[in-house]
Amino acid sequence: MASSEGNKLWGGRFVGNADPILEKFNASISYDQRLWEVDIKGSKAYVKALQKAGLVTQNEMEQILTGLDKVFDEWSKGEFKIKPGDEDIHTANERRLKEFIGDPAGKLHTGRSRNDQVATDARLWLRDAITTLKELALQLISTMVERAAVEIEILCPGYTHMQRAQPIRWSHWILSHAAALSRDVERLEDIRKRVNVMPLGSGAIAGNPFNIDRELLRQAEFLFWGSMCLTHLSKMAEDLILYSTKEFSFITLTDTSKNPETSVDLKHLYFSIPQVNQPAMEGALSPDMLATDLAYYLVRKGMPFREAHSCAGKAVYIAESKNIHLSKLTVEDLQTVSPLFDKDVSSVWDYTKSVEQYSAPGGTARSSVTAQIEHFRTWLQAQKQ
């Protein structure tokens, strides 16, 4: 048996050299080396538990801790040299530790398996990543909220399946995405609680026979969360890409941010750079977007909504057949649809008035959007504490 095989964490069982192709296939060092810091932290905690259980002496523990500090120092300075036999970060660190301190390094793996080592490293790494991701998400949401406050008076079309639907506030669009991201932050906190469980010392499958104090050590769902959060960001990015095209010209992106889907600096990209073209946004509003308001007009005069909706549809049809805007229909034209229409129907053709009628929580009225902004400001303060 080659000596290099015996040094592997699974070595000592197989006769002959491993197939180099299979060995390369099994190796994960190319991507799991990012776990170097948490792997060393986990090992430092584990050797203290080994010493408490009487499995290493005080002197051996101190040698291992000193050696691990040297390995840590090499990684932090970018001087750690990965060798062909280093199939993963755990093997690499233990190999280097042995080069520093000799035989005591072999005692570090007592009572633990690579299974729980992998799980521990992943959890420690995720815990740090969750903190970073939460900070970035909060920065983005904060920027979105403050942008919504500044641009609260700007109106724009709201779209359904790329068709103009109803007039809304631009800030209402911003906050709709902020709401989705805020739920992602809350889910991230829930995941943190489940990630913050220490599997180290649980062994390969059946547990640990050496009475290791696992409570001393206790100081992916995450992948699903990442997919969902990226979906929310992608939806927002696609709208921004669309709104920046010449066909829309609602916003202007700088040359450095022409593809919002590829940047990591979300705060800078999404809501610091885009310049809003208010005339273009409000110029895209058209009377046909007020068909629902025409139905509400009839509802306020006592007509059931289903019937009112049908009447509004008929009015749209008449306008299309005459090749004129809905707002250009005469009262006489509208009265062929319903006798409830009167001269006061002219009040319907007001985009600001249309937007202002949606004053319920979550609506696009100024008072409602202001309430949402204050809600998010309070929420952000609570998240930062």
Strand, coil or helix: what is 104? helix
Q: Do 373 and 179 meet the contact criterion of CB atoms below 8 Å apart? A: no
Nearest to 181 by CA among 143, 126, 154, 125: 143
- Rounded to 10 deg, the angle between the 89-101 and 114-150 helix axes is 120
Quote the CA–CA distance of 342 and 332 in Å, as a whole number.
Answer: 9
Whole-number Å distance between alpha carbons of 83 and 85: 6
CA dihedral for 319, 325, 327, 332, sign (positive or negative)? negative
The letter for the amino acid at 245 is T
Class of the CATH domain delimited by 287-349: mainly alpha
- Nearest 5°: phi and psi at 18? -70, 145
pLDDT tens digits, residue range 109-119? 887 777 777 77
End-to-end CA gap in the chain = 58
* Residues in the chain, overall count: 385
| 257 within 8 A of 271, measured Cβ to Cβ | no
Q: Give CA separation, 240 vs 131, 252, 259, 269, 275, in Å.
A: 27, 9, 9, 11, 11
Q: Is the pLDDT of residue 293 over 80?
A: yes
CATH architecture of the domain with residue range 117-285+361-384: Up-down Bundle (1.20)
Once rounded to an integer, what is the mean pLDDT over residues 281-303?
A: 96
**pLDDT classification of 87: cutoffs 50, 70, 90:** confident
Say if CB 343 and CB 329 are below 8 A apart: no
Joined tokens for residue 337: 């649809």
pLDDT of residue 22: 52
Reading the block at residue 358, the tokens are 């949606």
* Cα torsion 374, 380, 383, 384: sign: negative
Mean pLDDT of 135-147: 92
pLDDT digits (tens, 9 = 90+) for 39-55: 898 898 889 888 888 99
Q: Which residue has the higher pLDDT, 210 or 295?
A: 295
CA 8 – CA 17 distance, rounded (Å): 12
What's the pLDDT at 212?
53
| Whole-Å CA distances, 370 to 140, 176, 307, 373 | 19, 13, 34, 5
Residue 342 to residue 318: CA distance in whole angstroms: 17
Q: Which fold has domain 3-110?
A: Fumarase C; Chain B, domain 1 (1.10.275)
The pLDDT of 56-60, averaged and rounded, is: 95
pLDDT band at residue 15, thresholds of 50, 70 and 90? very low
Backbone angles phi, psi at 324, to 5 degrees: -130, 165
> Which amino acid belongs to residue 247?
E
CA distance 288 to 267: 36
Q: List all residues 6 or more positions away from 310 whose beta carbon is below 8 Å from its beta carbon.
A: none
Residue-wise pLDDT tens digits, 196-227: 655 555 444 445 554 555 444 444 678 788 88
Residue with tokens 């120092």: 73
Cα–Cα distance, 100 to 67 (Å, whole number): 6
pLDDT for 254: 65
Cα–Cα distance for residue pair 115/9, rounded to 1 Å: 11
The pTM is what? 0.74
- How much is the average pLDDT of 182-186? 95
* CA distance linking residue 222 with residue 81, whole number of Å: 31
Residue 151 clears pLDDT 90, i.e. is over it: yes
Local confidence band at 384 (pLDDT 50, 70, 90 cut-offs):
confident
Query: What SS3 state is found at 82?
Result: coil
Domain regions of the chain by residue span: 3-110, 117-285+361-384, 287-349
| Amino acid (1-letter code) at residue 338 | S
pLDDT over 90 (residue 186): yes
Percent of the chain with pLDDT over 70: 82
Lowest mean pLDDT among 6-10, 23-27, 226-230: 6-10
- Mean pLDDT score of the chain, rounded to an integer? 84
Question: Which among 80, 90, 8 is positioned nearest to 43, based on CA atoms?
Answer: 90
Mean pLDDT is lowest, of 33-47, 117-131, 172-186, for 117-131
User: What is the rounded CA–CA span in Å between residue 361 and residue 52?
Assistant: 58
Q: Is 193 helix (H, G, I), strand (E, B) or coil?
A: helix
